[in-house]
Amino acid sequence: MESSQIIILAIIATSLATFISRFMGALTSEKVSVKSKIFQWFNCVAYSTLAALLGRMIIFPAGVLSDSDLIYRLVVLVCCIFIFIKSKKNLVIPTIISAFFLALLNNI
SS3 string of 32-97?
CCCCCHHHHHHHHHHHHHHHHHHHHHHHCCCHHHHHCCHHHHHHHHHHHHHHHHHCCCCCHHHHHH
pLDDT of 85 strictly over 90: yes
Q: Which pTM value belongs to this model?
A: 0.61
Query: What average pLDDT does range 47-64 have in this prediction?
Result: 90
pLDDT of 31 strictly over 90: no
Ranking 5-14, 30-39, 48-57, 95-104 by mean pLDDT, the lowest is 30-39
Confidence grade of residue 1 (pLDDT, cut at 50, 70, 90): low
Top-confidence residue, 52 or 28: 52
Long-range contacts formed by 64-69: CB under 8 A, 24+ apart = 67/106, 68/102, 68/105, 68/106
Distances (CA, A) of 5 to 9, 15, 19: 6, 15, 21
CA distance 102 to 105: 5
What phi and psi values does residue 40 have, to the nearest 5 degrees? -60, -40
Query: What average pLDDT does range 50-63 have in this prediction?
Result: 90
pLDDT of 66 strictly over 80: yes
Query: What average pLDDT does range 3-30 have in this prediction?
Result: 86
